[in-house]
Amino acid sequence: MTFAPTLTGIATIVLAWLALATTAQAAEPQFLGRSLADWRTEAKSSDSSIRLHAIWALSQQPAAALPELMTALSDRDAAARFWAVQGLARLAADHQTDETLRTKIAATLIPLLQDAAPSPRIAAAEALARLNKPAPALRVLMAALTSEPQDAARTAAAEAIERLGPLAAGAEPALEQAAADQGEYAKRISTRALRSLKKTPPAVP
């Protein structure tokens, strides 16, 4: 006679626990239908496509994923390193007055200026130029603009320099050289960036 109430009590406890767990899960912020914990787990995956997708997702919510993005800077996949840089750059931009955080981010990005792959190297250079490290950053961007064999990499460098605007002062020689680039996009963007830096009006057609 006492067994049935015991089972009822256990069932009540289990149902209450499930309700609490469901409420906690619902309260946890979601990104593309997954929790931060899910993305953090997938960022450690041995499957490069899963890991890359997770690092990209974490780069979109960098304030909650600083350790994971720092770790991803040394990922073997260049695309993962690129998205880690982008996430950290976004975090630094969102915390303009937090010099401790910005200094920490800058210190972790400096080694990326030597990255063998152009995409994370160029992204790191642009980020560092905005983090009060313009001299080494511009050297990297100017070298990429004039020396990278891939059109896409030279175009990315030109775009970064253009986005930097006045922060890219000193890049004029590289932009002048790139204005004669065989790649149409790199040439066009370099010409536009050079005109902006020199503050000259566009030529009348």
pLDDT band for position 1 (50/70/90)?
very low
Domain of residue 80, CATH code: 1.25.10.10
137 and 205 both lie in a single domain: yes
The pLDDT value given to residue 31: 81
Please indicate, yes or no, if residue 110 is contained in any of the structural domains: no
Please indicate, yes or no, if residue 116 is contained in any of the structural domains: no
Please say which residue of 58, 86, 105 terminates a domain.
Answer: 105
Is pLDDT at 187 greater than 60 in this prediction? yes
138 and 178 both lie in a single domain: yes
Which of these, 64, 82, 95, 181, lies nearest to 122 by C-alpha position? 82
90 and 149 both lie in a single domain: no
88 and 144 both lie in a single domain: no
Please say which residue of 105, 124, 155 terminates a domain.
Answer: 105
pLDDT band for position 17 (50/70/90)?
low
Please indicate, yes or no, if residue 23 is contained in any of the structural domains: no
pLDDT band for position 90 (50/70/90)?
very high
Those residues whose C-beta lies under 8 Å from the C-beta of residue 29, and which sit 6 or more positions away, are 35, 36, 61, 64
Contact (Cβ atoms closer than 8 angstroms) between residue 83 and residue 61: no
84 and 138 both lie in a single domain: no
Q: How many domains does the chain have?
A: 2
Those residues whose C-beta lies under 8 Å from the C-beta of residue 65, and which sit 6 or more positions away, are 36, 39, 40, 58, 59, 87
pLDDT band for position 201 (50/70/90)?
very low
The pLDDT value given to residue 33: 86
Mean pLDDT in residue range 156-164: 95
100 and 57 both lie in a single domain: yes
Please indicate, yes or no, if residue 117 is contained in any of the structural domains: no
- Domain membership of residue 170 as a residue range: 133-205
Least confident range from 87-91, 143-147, 182-186: namely 182-186
Mean pLDDT in residue range 58-84: 96
100 and 137 both lie in a single domain: no
Mean pLDDT in residue range 10-35: 60
**Amino acid, res. 105:** I
Tokens of 98: 């937090």
Is pLDDT at 199 greater than 80 in this prediction? no
189 and 148 both lie in a single domain: yes
Share of the chain above pLDDT 70, in %: 83
Locus of tokens 């996949």? 77
Summary mean pLDDT of the chain: 87
Tokens of 20: 């609490």
pLDDT band for position 69 (50/70/90)?
very high
183 and 138 both lie in a single domain: yes
